[in-house]
Protein backbone atom coordinates (compact mmCIF):
# COMPACT_ATOMS: atom_id res chain seq x y z
CA UNK A 1 0.00 0.00 0.00
CA UNK A 2 1.28 3.45 -0.92
CA UNK A 3 2.76 5.32 2.09
CA UNK A 4 1.28 8.78 2.66
CA UNK A 5 3.27 11.91 3.57
CA UNK A 6 1.19 14.80 4.93
CA UNK A 7 2.38 18.37 4.40
CA UNK A 8 1.27 20.45 7.37
CA UNK A 9 1.84 23.78 9.04
CA UNK A 10 3.79 23.67 12.30
CA UNK A 11 1.22 25.20 14.67
CA UNK A 12 -0.20 22.94 17.37
CA UNK A 13 -3.64 23.15 15.76
CA UNK A 14 -2.36 22.29 12.28
CA UNK A 15 -0.37 19.36 13.66
CA UNK A 16 -3.45 18.14 15.56
CA UNK A 17 -5.53 18.28 12.38
CA UNK A 18 -2.90 16.47 10.33
CA UNK A 19 -2.46 13.77 12.97
CA UNK A 20 -6.25 13.38 13.07
CA UNK A 21 -6.26 12.75 9.32
CA UNK A 22 -3.36 10.31 9.75
CA UNK A 23 -5.33 8.40 12.40
CA UNK A 24 -8.37 8.21 10.13
CA UNK A 25 -6.24 6.87 7.29
CA UNK A 26 -4.70 4.23 9.58
CA UNK A 27 -8.16 3.23 10.78
CA UNK A 28 -9.52 2.88 7.23
CA UNK A 29 -6.40 1.21 5.83
CA UNK A 30 -4.71 -0.98 8.46
CA UNK A 31 -0.98 -1.23 7.85
CA UNK A 32 -0.69 2.00 5.89
CA UNK A 33 2.38 4.12 6.66
CA UNK A 34 1.54 7.78 7.31
CA UNK A 35 4.09 10.46 8.23
CA UNK A 36 3.88 14.22 8.77
CA UNK A 37 6.03 16.75 6.90
CA UNK A 38 5.85 19.99 8.98
CA UNK A 39 6.51 23.17 6.98
CA UNK A 40 6.53 26.88 7.69
CA UNK A 41 4.32 29.20 5.63
CA UNK A 42 4.47 32.94 5.04
CA UNK A 43 1.11 33.28 6.73
CA UNK A 44 2.62 31.84 9.90
CA UNK A 45 5.83 33.86 9.71
CA UNK A 46 4.43 37.38 9.12
CA UNK A 47 2.41 38.23 12.22
CA UNK A 48 2.76 42.02 12.40
CA UNK A 49 0.35 42.66 9.53
CA UNK A 50 -3.14 41.45 8.71
CA UNK A 51 -3.66 38.64 6.22
CA UNK A 52 -5.48 41.10 3.99
CA UNK A 53 -2.31 43.22 3.79
CA UNK A 54 0.07 40.38 2.96
CA UNK A 55 -1.99 38.52 0.40
CA UNK A 56 -4.85 36.64 2.02
CA UNK A 57 -5.37 33.24 3.55
CA UNK A 58 -3.84 31.51 0.54
CA UNK A 59 -0.46 32.23 2.10
CA UNK A 60 -1.12 29.33 4.46
CA UNK A 61 -1.33 26.97 1.49
CA UNK A 62 1.39 27.85 -1.00
CA UNK A 63 4.34 26.10 0.68
CA UNK A 64 2.24 23.01 1.34
CA UNK A 65 1.06 22.88 -2.26
CA UNK A 66 4.61 23.34 -3.48
CA UNK A 67 5.70 20.36 -1.38
CA UNK A 68 3.07 18.20 -3.08
CA UNK A 69 4.07 19.31 -6.58
CA UNK A 70 7.77 18.81 -5.77
CA UNK A 71 7.14 15.26 -4.58
CA UNK A 72 8.02 15.97 -0.95
CA UNK A 73 4.48 15.17 0.22
CA UNK A 74 1.41 13.35 -1.09
CA UNK A 75 -1.36 15.33 0.60
CA UNK A 76 -1.89 18.52 2.59
CA UNK A 77 -4.32 19.09 5.44
CA UNK A 78 -6.03 22.47 5.73
CA UNK A 79 -8.73 24.29 7.62
CA UNK A 80 -11.25 24.73 4.81
CA UNK A 81 -11.92 28.36 5.72
CA UNK A 82 -8.28 29.08 4.74
CA UNK A 83 -8.65 27.49 1.28
CA UNK A 84 -9.55 29.86 -1.60
CA UNK A 85 -12.89 29.09 -3.23
CA UNK A 86 -11.23 28.64 -6.62
CA UNK A 87 -8.74 25.76 -6.36
CA UNK A 88 -5.80 25.47 -8.80
CA UNK A 89 -6.40 22.82 -11.46
CA UNK A 90 -3.30 20.92 -10.38
CA UNK A 91 -4.98 20.03 -7.08
CA UNK A 92 -8.10 18.29 -5.85
CA UNK A 93 -9.90 18.69 -2.52
CA UNK A 94 -10.32 14.96 -2.11
CA UNK A 95 -11.81 14.59 1.37
CA UNK A 96 -14.05 16.85 3.46
CA UNK A 97 -14.17 15.56 7.02
CA UNK A 98 -17.37 15.90 9.10
CA UNK A 99 -17.88 19.47 10.23
CA UNK A 100 -16.95 20.23 13.83
CA UNK A 101 -18.42 23.08 15.89
CA UNK A 102 -18.78 25.99 13.45
CA UNK A 103 -19.39 28.70 16.06
CA UNK A 104 -17.25 31.69 16.82
CA UNK A 105 -16.65 31.98 20.56
CA UNK A 106 -16.57 35.23 22.53
CA UNK A 107 -13.93 34.96 25.27
CA UNK A 108 -13.22 37.37 28.12
CA UNK A 109 -11.38 37.33 31.44
CA UNK A 110 -14.43 38.24 33.51
CA UNK A 111 -17.60 37.08 31.76
CA UNK A 112 -18.59 40.36 30.10
CA UNK A 113 -20.83 40.01 27.05
CA UNK A 114 -20.09 42.18 24.01
CA UNK A 115 -22.99 44.42 24.97
CA UNK A 116 -21.86 44.84 28.58
CA UNK A 117 -18.23 45.76 27.91
CA UNK A 118 -17.56 49.45 28.59
CA UNK A 119 -17.29 51.88 25.68
CA UNK A 120 -13.84 51.81 24.12
CA UNK A 121 -13.04 48.27 25.27
CA UNK A 122 -10.59 46.52 22.96
CA UNK A 123 -11.57 43.31 21.18
CA UNK A 124 -8.94 41.26 19.37
CA UNK A 125 -9.56 39.71 15.97
CA UNK A 126 -7.79 39.76 12.61
CA UNK A 127 -10.99 38.79 10.77
CA UNK A 128 -12.96 41.49 8.94
CA UNK A 129 -15.98 39.18 9.04
CA UNK A 130 -15.87 38.98 12.82
CA UNK A 131 -15.08 42.68 13.13
CA UNK A 132 -17.98 43.80 10.95
CA UNK A 133 -20.56 41.61 12.69
CA UNK A 134 -19.36 42.63 16.15
CA UNK A 135 -19.42 46.35 15.36
CA UNK A 136 -22.84 46.06 13.72
CA UNK A 137 -24.35 45.23 17.12
CA UNK A 138 -21.74 46.81 19.42
CA UNK A 139 -20.36 49.98 17.79
CA UNK A 140 -19.10 51.16 21.20
CA UNK A 141 -16.25 48.63 21.06
CA UNK A 142 -12.81 49.05 19.46
CA UNK A 143 -11.43 46.21 17.33
CA UNK A 144 -7.66 45.69 17.30
CA UNK A 145 -5.82 43.23 15.02
CA UNK A 146 -4.57 40.12 16.82
CA UNK A 147 -2.85 37.36 14.85
CA UNK A 148 -0.79 34.32 15.76
CA UNK A 149 -1.75 30.90 17.06
CA UNK A 150 -4.54 30.29 19.56
CA UNK A 151 -2.17 30.32 22.53
CA UNK A 152 -0.62 33.64 21.45
CA UNK A 153 -4.02 35.30 21.18
CA UNK A 154 -5.20 33.99 24.54
CA UNK A 155 -1.97 35.26 26.13
CA UNK A 156 -2.79 38.77 24.89
CA UNK A 157 -6.19 38.53 26.55
CA UNK A 158 -4.72 37.27 29.83
CA UNK A 159 -2.10 40.04 29.77
CA UNK A 160 -4.81 42.68 29.45
CA UNK A 161 -3.79 43.80 25.97
CA UNK A 162 -7.38 43.18 24.86
CA UNK A 163 -10.63 42.92 26.82
CA UNK A 164 -12.22 40.29 24.60
CA UNK A 165 -11.34 37.82 21.86
CA UNK A 166 -13.29 36.10 19.11
CA UNK A 167 -11.92 32.67 18.19
CA UNK A 168 -13.17 29.63 16.30
CA UNK A 169 -14.73 27.09 18.66
CA UNK A 170 -13.36 24.13 16.70
CA UNK A 171 -9.74 25.14 17.24
CA UNK A 172 -10.13 25.49 20.99
CA UNK A 173 -11.99 22.21 21.25
CA UNK A 174 -9.43 20.31 19.18
CA UNK A 175 -6.61 21.58 21.39
CA UNK A 176 -8.70 20.86 24.51
CA UNK A 177 -8.32 24.45 25.68
CA UNK A 178 -10.94 25.26 28.29
CA UNK A 179 -11.76 28.80 29.37
CA UNK A 180 -14.08 29.87 32.15
CA UNK A 181 -15.82 32.69 30.31
CA UNK A 182 -16.96 31.59 26.85
CA UNK A 183 -20.05 32.63 24.90
CA UNK A 184 -20.99 31.05 21.55
CA UNK A 185 -21.93 33.74 19.01
CA UNK A 186 -25.15 32.56 17.37
CA UNK A 187 -27.11 33.33 14.20
CA UNK A 188 -28.80 35.50 13.15
CA UNK A 189 -26.50 38.06 14.77
CA UNK A 190 -23.32 36.17 13.97
CA UNK A 191 -22.68 33.90 10.97
CA UNK A 192 -19.49 31.83 10.54
CA UNK A 193 -16.95 31.92 7.78
CA UNK A 194 -17.59 29.66 4.81
CA UNK A 195 -16.04 26.32 5.73
CA UNK A 196 -15.47 27.11 9.39
CA UNK A 197 -14.97 23.94 11.44
CA UNK A 198 -14.14 21.74 8.43
CA UNK A 199 -10.86 19.92 7.83
CA UNK A 200 -10.14 19.27 4.15
CA UNK A 201 -7.48 17.09 2.52
CA UNK A 202 -5.81 18.18 -0.71
CA UNK A 203 -3.87 16.05 -3.20
CA UNK A 204 -2.62 16.26 -6.78
CA UNK A 205 -5.55 16.07 -9.18
CA UNK A 206 -3.90 13.27 -11.15
CA UNK A 207 -3.00 11.11 -8.13
CA UNK A 208 -5.90 8.68 -8.30
CA UNK A 209 -4.33 6.19 -5.88
CA UNK A 210 -4.12 8.79 -3.13
CA UNK A 211 -7.64 10.02 -3.91
CA UNK A 212 -8.87 6.43 -3.54
CA UNK A 213 -7.23 6.11 -0.12
CA UNK A 214 -8.82 9.39 0.99
CA UNK A 215 -12.33 8.54 -0.20
CA UNK A 216 -13.49 6.80 3.03
CA UNK A 217 -12.71 9.98 4.98
CA UNK A 218 -15.13 12.05 2.89
CA UNK A 219 -18.40 13.21 4.51
CA UNK A 220 -21.14 13.66 1.92
CA UNK A 221 -23.21 16.03 4.07
CA UNK A 222 -20.17 18.27 4.49
CA UNK A 223 -19.50 18.16 0.74
CA UNK A 224 -23.02 19.45 0.06
CA UNK A 225 -23.05 22.25 2.62
CA UNK A 226 -19.54 23.36 1.67
CA UNK A 227 -20.48 23.45 -2.03
CA UNK A 228 -23.15 26.01 -1.15
CA UNK A 229 -21.02 28.12 1.20
CA UNK A 230 -17.99 28.18 -1.07
CA UNK A 231 -20.13 29.05 -4.10
CA UNK A 232 -21.10 32.29 -2.33
CA UNK A 233 -17.43 33.15 -1.92
CA UNK A 234 -16.56 32.15 -5.48
CA UNK A 235 -19.39 34.19 -7.02
CA UNK A 236 -18.33 37.30 -5.12
CA UNK A 237 -14.60 36.72 -5.65
CA UNK A 238 -14.24 36.77 -1.88
CA UNK A 239 -11.31 36.08 0.40
CA UNK A 240 -10.21 37.18 3.87
CA UNK A 241 -10.12 40.79 2.66
CA UNK A 242 -13.91 40.76 2.45
CA UNK A 243 -16.32 40.75 5.45
CA UNK A 244 -18.29 37.81 4.08
CA UNK A 245 -20.08 35.04 5.99
CA UNK A 246 -21.97 31.97 4.77
CA UNK A 247 -23.72 29.22 6.69
CA UNK A 248 -25.51 26.20 5.17
CA UNK A 249 -27.59 23.54 6.93
CA UNK A 250 -28.91 20.27 5.56
CA UNK A 251 -32.15 18.65 6.76
CA UNK A 252 -33.04 15.48 4.86
CA UNK A 253 -32.76 16.56 1.21
CA UNK A 254 -33.38 20.25 1.86
CA UNK A 255 -30.56 22.78 2.07
CA UNK A 256 -30.90 26.21 3.64
CA UNK A 257 -28.24 28.89 3.30
CA UNK A 258 -27.69 32.28 4.90
CA UNK A 259 -25.06 34.68 3.57
CA UNK A 260 -23.92 38.08 4.78
CA UNK A 261 -21.75 40.83 3.33
CA UNK A 262 -20.92 43.87 5.44
CA UNK A 263 -18.83 46.98 5.64
CA UNK A 264 -15.79 46.62 7.94
CA UNK A 265 -17.22 49.12 10.41
CA UNK A 266 -20.53 47.25 10.59
CA UNK A 267 -22.62 50.24 9.54
CA UNK A 268 -23.96 48.40 6.49
CA UNK A 269 -25.00 44.74 6.59
CA UNK A 270 -26.52 42.89 3.62
CA UNK A 271 -28.22 39.51 4.13
CA UNK A 272 -29.46 36.78 1.81
CA UNK A 273 -31.32 33.56 2.61
CA UNK A 274 -32.15 30.80 0.14
CA UNK A 275 -33.36 27.20 0.34
CA UNK A 276 -33.79 24.30 -2.03
CA UNK A 277 -32.84 20.76 -2.93
CA UNK A 278 -29.39 19.60 -1.82
CA UNK A 279 -28.59 18.67 -5.41
CA UNK A 280 -28.63 22.37 -6.24
CA UNK A 281 -26.15 23.35 -3.52
CA UNK A 282 -23.74 25.24 -5.74
CA UNK A 283 -26.46 27.09 -7.63
CA UNK A 284 -28.11 28.04 -4.33
CA UNK A 285 -24.82 29.52 -3.17
CA UNK A 286 -24.50 31.56 -6.35
CA UNK A 287 -28.11 32.65 -6.02
CA UNK A 288 -27.44 33.94 -2.50
CA UNK A 289 -24.42 35.84 -3.77
CA UNK A 290 -26.46 37.46 -6.53
CA UNK A 291 -29.05 38.58 -3.96
CA UNK A 292 -26.27 40.28 -2.01
CA UNK A 293 -25.13 42.00 -5.19
CA UNK A 294 -28.68 43.15 -5.97
CA UNK A 295 -28.89 44.68 -2.49
CA UNK A 296 -25.80 46.78 -3.12
CA UNK A 297 -23.00 44.33 -2.57
CA UNK A 298 -20.93 45.57 -5.49
CA UNK A 299 -20.54 48.91 -3.75
CA UNK A 300 -19.11 47.16 -0.68
CA UNK A 301 -16.92 44.84 -2.73
CA UNK A 302 -15.39 47.78 -4.62
CA UNK A 303 -13.61 48.81 -1.41
CA UNK A 304 -11.60 45.55 -1.23
Contact between 124 and 165 under an 8 Å Cβ cutoff? The reply is yes
Q: Do residue 58 and residue 116 come from a single domain?
A: no
Q: What is the value of pTM for the model shown? A: 0.91
Structural domain includes residue 175: yes
Q: How far is CA 245 from CA 95, 135, 265, in A?
A: 23, 15, 15
Structural domain includes residue 226: no
Q: Do residue 127 and residue 244 come from a single domain?
A: no
Q: Do residue 149 and residue 291 come from a single domain?
A: no
Q: Do residue 28 and residue 92 come from a single domain?
A: yes
Domain containing 57 — which CATH number? 3.40.190.10
82 is catalytic: yes
pLDDT for res 54: 43
Contact between 162 and 146 under an 8 Å Cβ cutoff? The reply is yes
Q: Do residue 152 and residue 172 come from a single domain?
A: yes
Which pLDDT tens digit goes with each residue over 76-127? 999 999 999 988 899 999 999 999 999 999 999 999 999 999 999 999 999 9
Structural domain includes residue 224: no
Structural domain includes residue 178: yes
Structural domain includes residue 193: no
Q: Do residue 30 and residue 82 come from a single domain?
A: yes
Which pLDDT tens digit goes with each residue over 127-143? 999 999 999 999 999 99
The fraction of the chain above a pLDDT of 70, given in percent, is: 93
Q: Do residue 241 and residue 169 come from a single domain?
A: no
Question: Is residue 238 packed enough to be buried (19+ CB in 10 Å), middle (13-18) or exposed (0-12)?
Answer: buried
Range of the domain at 84: 4-97+198-218
Structural domain includes residue 192: no
Q: Do residue 22 and residue 87 come from a single domain?
A: yes
Structural domain includes residue 191: no
pLDDT for res 40: 78
Q: Do residue 257 and residue 290 come from a single domain?
A: yes
Across the range 225-230, mean pLDDT stands at: 98
Q: Which of 44, 48, 74, 82 is catalytic?
A: 82
Nearest-CA neighbor of 163 among 83, 91, 106, 241? 106
Q: Do residue 150 and residue 67 come from a single domain?
A: no
Query: How many structural domains does the chain have?
Result: 3
Structural domain includes residue 243: yes
Query: Which residues contact residue 180 at a Cβ distance below 8 angstroms, ignoring those fewer than 6 apart?
Result: 111
Q: Do residue 238 and residue 269 come from a single domain?
A: yes
Domain containing 277 — which CATH number? 3.30.160.40
Q: Do residue 68 and residue 152 come from a single domain?
A: no
Amino acid sequence: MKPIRIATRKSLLALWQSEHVAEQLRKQHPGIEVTLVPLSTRGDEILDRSLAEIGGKGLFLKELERAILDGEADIAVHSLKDVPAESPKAFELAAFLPRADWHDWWITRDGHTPESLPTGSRVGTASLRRQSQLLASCPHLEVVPVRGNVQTRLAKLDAGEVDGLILAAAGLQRLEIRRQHVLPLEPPGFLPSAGQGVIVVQCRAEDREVARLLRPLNCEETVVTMAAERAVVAELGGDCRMPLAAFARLEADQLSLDARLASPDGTEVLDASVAGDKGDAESLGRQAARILLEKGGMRLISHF
